[in-house]
Amino acid sequence: MKFKCIINGCLSHTRAQAEELNGFISRFLDSEASDGTTIIFYSQKDERKALPGLVPTQRAELVRIDRYHPESILDALARIEYSDDADLYLFPSGFAGSEIAVRWAFRQKGSSLVQVKHIDCTRDRVIAKKTAYVDHVLATFRLDRRPFCLSPARGCVDRLPIRARDNLVVTEHDFTGLNKGIRAHDFHWIPVEHAKHFENPRFLIVGGRGLQNKENVQFLKNMADAVGAEFGISRAVALNAWGPMHRLIGVSGTIAKPEICIAAGVSGAAAFYAGIEKSKFIIAINTDPLARIIKSSDVVVIDDYKTVMAELLKFFTFDGANEA
Amino acid sequence: MRILVCFKAAPDVEMLIDEDWAVDKKLKIDTSFVKNTLNTYDESALEIALNLRDASEALGTNVELSTLTVDGGGATAILKTLYALRFTKAVRIEPQEDLRFRPAATAAIICQYVLHHSPQDAVLLGRQSDIGENAKTSLLVAEMLGWQCISQATHIELADENHLMVTHQVDDGHIRQRIRTPCVFSVGDAPCTSLRVPTLRDRMQYGKKAVDVLSVEDFLLPVETETLTGLEILRHARAGVIIEGKNPAEKARVLYEEHLKPMLSQK
């Protein structure tokens, strides 16, 4: 099977994309029977040097474009991929990867599936699994038309570091100036703050709709800071603007893998739970004994999260003072 | 500016209890007893469109809103609400078959509606529905129409009669740019965009208009390139051990001493 990995090096998390796809290839593709090429798009000349170290395959095509725009990538891909010989295209999880997977498949008259959790493939057919019904169900699909364009679900595989290759074959393309006609003006880039170690914290505290307002979210954030935990929020909290979107935990945010997770005021909707289900130990604090999170946690405190957290802080403070 | 907002009313599956989750031979799950709702993506798309109309009134330009859903009738109450919120036109396309996992078919219907029934300058859709979770329909609409697509839109403002200022989320930030119509917007996680509630007066005055119903037979549906072959219920059960105590302080002590402290002290 001929496969191609498409990496968007115009964004800041190029290594994470490469390692994610490397993990996906390692888990699902037969390396003996597969022949892979990685296509990396980038825009800044000074980024070029590091790119060969981010290639999970034997061959690489490094493609310079003006800036990240889906049309720039799709148009450049159309120029590179004229030979129509790839069976499978792998795109990273995330917004750009899933968008381009779907649109590239449409243009190539192939099949696409995004948020994929598992694949089983031959040259002519891919069987892939993804969630449906707000993450309550795992749906299996047969993809019939090649090229098969897939983007994994966030966190479905562990990232696998890229090993350096001495015999890497690199081809270069320069498509700067290709999309001068794109109708975008007054373009402003607004970077977002990313918390360090947010995906793999040792200790994570997450607040849900039960927090009810911005002040309570800040209270829980302060608690998390005081006990040395990372802090995350559910989608309901983010959409009410009680907390920042970059702290979102769940299928459309971060899939966290902490050792300990405290879920406070969280109902436990499946789309949220997907963001904490890889926790080693989950503690729910909730006043509702019938909330879905109760059955999905290791231990549960049925009580008001504010009072319980304030009491917990006393123990942390006492032990901290004694250790000091 | 003519703006079409497409949405999908879906059963609120969070209301189902464990015993309700069962897959039948036709790969369906009975959700007929659960109320249909809008998911947050669709709700945001509708509210963003209403905000654009509000802004147009202040700017003295004209924004005409219409809405479309492909639905067997479960969305009727929502369509009436949208009429009460003074959407000019509400259209329901009656499906004859199961379209849960057929995003290309849904996209083809929307595309042909725009091309042959009601020309538009912008089409807004939520990024994915709650049942299929395909996350493909809006992208395919843009591809089929040959229009520019802005995905993960979180905020849209009216710039002038032919341009919109859009803020959209990308993987490590946001991009804000001025876009010339026509364009498809796939609405993502947009804070503070819960759908407004119409006044009783507007419900009485505008909410009783008949919904236009078209048959899916009026549209050509493509052959899907992905076929659903199985559904498996996911269960997430853990021990769920309840920590007992006379008061929150005692529960916190047990939680700390028996669980948190031993785990956190492990190097």
What are the tens digits of pLDDT across the range A259-301?
Answer: 999 999 999 998 899 999 999 999 999 999 999 999 999 999 9
- Report chain B residues whose CB lies below 8 A from the CB of A114: 134-136
Cα angle A128, A130, A135 (rounded to 5 degrees) comes to: 165
What sign does the CA torsion over A222, A225, A229, A230 have?
A: positive
Task: Measure CA B217 to chain center.
Answer: 24
C-alpha span between B243 and A297 (Å, rounded): 12
Copy the structure tokens of residue A27: 């888990």
Copy the structure tokens of residue A275: 């963001």
C-alpha span between B48 and A217 (Å, rounded): 26
Alpha-carbon gap: B210 to the closest alpha carbon of chain A (Å): 31
User: For A112, which residue in chain B has the nearest alpha carbon?
Assistant: B226
pLDDT tens for B42-92 read 999 999 999 999 999 888 889 999 999 999 888 999 999 999 999 999 999
What length does chain A have? 324
Strands (DSSP E) along chain A, which ranges?
2-8, 35-42, 59-64, 88-90, 111-121, 126-132, 137-143, 148-152, 169-174, 184-191, 203-207, 230-233, 260-264, 281-286, 299-302
For residues B154-171, average pLDDT: 94
For residues A79-94, average pLDDT: 91
Contacts for B35 with CB less than 8 Å, ≥ 6 apart: B11, B12, B15
CB A175 within 8 A of CB A79: yes
Alpha-carbon gap: A243 to the closest alpha carbon of chain B (Å): 10
The pLDDT score that the predictor gives to residue A318 is 81
For residues A214-238, average pLDDT: 96
The pLDDT score that the predictor gives to residue B251 is 96
Cα angle B84, B87, B88 (rounded to 5 degrees) comes to: 115
User: For B183, which residue in chain A has the nearest alpha carbon?
Assistant: A183
In this predicted structure, the answer to whether residue A180 has a pLDDT above a threshold of 90 is no
Cis peptide before B182 (omega within 30 of 0): yes
How far lies A225's CA from each of A157, A243, B166, in Å? 29, 15, 35
CB B224 within 8 A of CB A105: no
The pLDDT score that the predictor gives to residue B172 is 81
pLDDT tens for B182-219 read 999 999 999 999 999 999 999 999 999 999 999 999 99
CB A254 within 8 A of CB A248: yes
Residue of B148, B149, B170, B244 for testing the chain A interface, max A β-carbons within 10 Å: B170
Nearest by Cα to A293 from B130, B251, B238: B238
| pLDDT > 90 fraction of chain A, expressed in percent and rounded | 77
Alpha-carbon gap: B174 to the closest alpha carbon of chain A (Å): 5
CB contact under 8 A, B189 and A239: yes
Could you give phi then psi for residue A126, rounded to 5 degrees? Answer: -125, 135
In this predicted structure, the answer to whether residue B130 has a pLDDT above a threshold of 80 is yes
CB B137 within 8 A of CB B125: yes
The pLDDT score that the predictor gives to residue A195 is 54
Cβ of A144 under 8 Å from any chain B Cβ? yes
| pTM, rounded to two decimals | 0.93
CB A42 within 8 A of CB A60: no
Nearest by Cα to A24 from A41, A8, A11, A38: A38
Q: Strand, helix or coil at A39?
A: strand
Alpha-carbon gap: B208 to the closest alpha carbon of chain A (Å): 31
In this predicted structure, the answer to whether residue B173 has a pLDDT above a threshold of 90 is no
Residue type (1 letter), A214 = K
Going by pLDDT thresholds of 50, 70 and 90, the confidence category of residue A166 is confident
C-alpha span between A300 and B243 (Å, rounded): 6
The complex's ipTM?
Answer: 0.95
In this predicted structure, the answer to whether residue A125 has a pLDDT above a threshold of 80 is yes
The pLDDT score that the predictor gives to residue B75 is 94
Mean pLDDT, all residues of chain A: 91
pLDDT tens for A21-41 read 999 999 999 877 789 999 999
CB contact under 8 A, A192 and B173: yes
Cβ of B236 under 8 Å from any chain A Cβ? yes
C-alpha span between A77 and A149 (Å, rounded): 13
Cβ of A78 under 8 Å from any chain B Cβ? no
Q: Strand, helix or coil at A111?
A: strand
Going by pLDDT thresholds of 50, 70 and 90, the confidence category of residue A164 is confident
C-alpha span between B106 and B69 (Å, rounded): 9
CB contact under 8 A, A297 and B259: no
| pLDDT > 70 fraction of chain B, expressed in percent and rounded | 100
What sign does the CA torsion over B116, B121, B126, B128 have?
A: positive
Q: Which helix (H) or strand (E) holds B140?
A: helix B137-145
Cis peptide before A289 (omega within 30 of 0): no
C-alpha span between B9 and B27 (Å, rounded): 20
The pLDDT score that the predictor gives to residue B116 is 97
The pLDDT score that the predictor gives to residue A124 is 81
In this predicted structure, the answer to whether residue A161 has a pLDDT above a threshold of 90 is yes
CB A24 within 8 A of CB A152: yes
Going by pLDDT thresholds of 50, 70 and 90, the confidence category of residue A122 is confident
- Report chain A residues whose CB lies below 8 A from the CB of B16: 136
